[in-house]
Amino acid sequence: YAKKLENAIKREASVMKEIENDKALIKYLEGQKTSGAAFDNTVYESYDAWIETIRKQIKKSESTLTNIEFKKVELEAIQKYIA
């Protein structure tokens, strides 16, 4: 179980990087929207829809970070119990 927690904790840096990238993408898309750039994407119907999807991804990633913090505490408790 401790190994499983360690593996989950290792994802922290990549999740944080993902949040940074998503925030940068939102800034870029908002800039494109504000400048009146033509919307050229077949997946999303508008800049607003795309931005909303990214905001949801950020919330999910932030929740993942909260869970990772909990796993750190849990792992520390397990390690102290085993020692």
Average confidence (pLDDT) over 12-36: 97
Q: Which of 12, 1, 10 is nearest to 77 (CA)?
A: 1
Per-residue burial over 17-37, b = 16 or more CB atoms within 10 Å of its CB, e = otherwise: ebbeebeeebeebeeeeeeee
* pLDDT classification of 31: cutoffs 50, 70, 90: very high
**Dist. CA 65–CA 67, nearest whole Å:** 5
Position 2 confidence tier, pLDDT thresholds 50, 70, 90: confident
State the virtual CA torsion across 74, 75, 81, 83 in degrees, nearest 10: -160
pLDDT at residue 1, as a whole number:
81
Residues 58, 22 contacting (CB under 8 angstroms): yes
Residue 83 has a pLDDT of 75
**% the chain with pLDDT above 90:** 83
pLDDT (tens digit, 9 = 90+) per residue, 45-82? 999 999 999 999 999 999 999 999 999 999 999 989 88
